[in-house]
Copies of this chain bind each other. A is one copy, B any other.
């Protein structure tokens, strides 16, 4: 696991997924991406879209989240990984940027000797419209 995973091969399908992800600003599910590619005339299987997006997420090429309904959604990587404030009632989501979280994560990692650190932070609440 520490060592080099073999690099992904360059295929037409992978290029198509990569290309479409750079044109989309919002989070899309794998099913959405598959449907969109099909609509554009690309011949690509659903399983391949799932695999490719998962791989791209693992490699840091896209960000992945879970919608409140539990489905995975992907979006092209903006600079810096961010977090969300989610309404429990209606699912409305606001992007938030906690200060110093990256730095604090590194500090905690050093303190306990952990490496390859990552963090997951989500805030939950009830939005103004849901009282």
A1 to B94, CA, bound (A): 22
Q: Which of A22-76 contact B (CB under 8 A)?
A: 57, 63-66, 68, 70-72
Q: A99-B104, A112-B94 are in contact. Are A125 and B118 (CB under 8 A)?
A: yes
A79 CB-CB contact with B under 8 Å: no
The 5 A-B residue pairs whose C-beta atoms are closest, nearest first, are A114-B125, A113-B128, A117-B125, A70-B70, A121-B121
Chain A interface residue number, banded:
35 or more
| Chain B residues near A113 (CB-CB < 8 A) | 127-128
Closest chain B residue, CB of each to CB of A105: B123
* Cβ of A98 under 8 Å from chain B: yes
Residues in B neighbouring A121, C-beta threshold 8 A: 119-121
Kindly report which residue of chain B lies nearest to residue A64, judged by CB atoms.
B88
* B interface footprint on A102-131 (CB within 8 Å = 1, 0 otherwise): 001100110011111111111111111001
Given A2-B131, A66-B66, CB of A120 within 8 Å of CB of B124 = yes
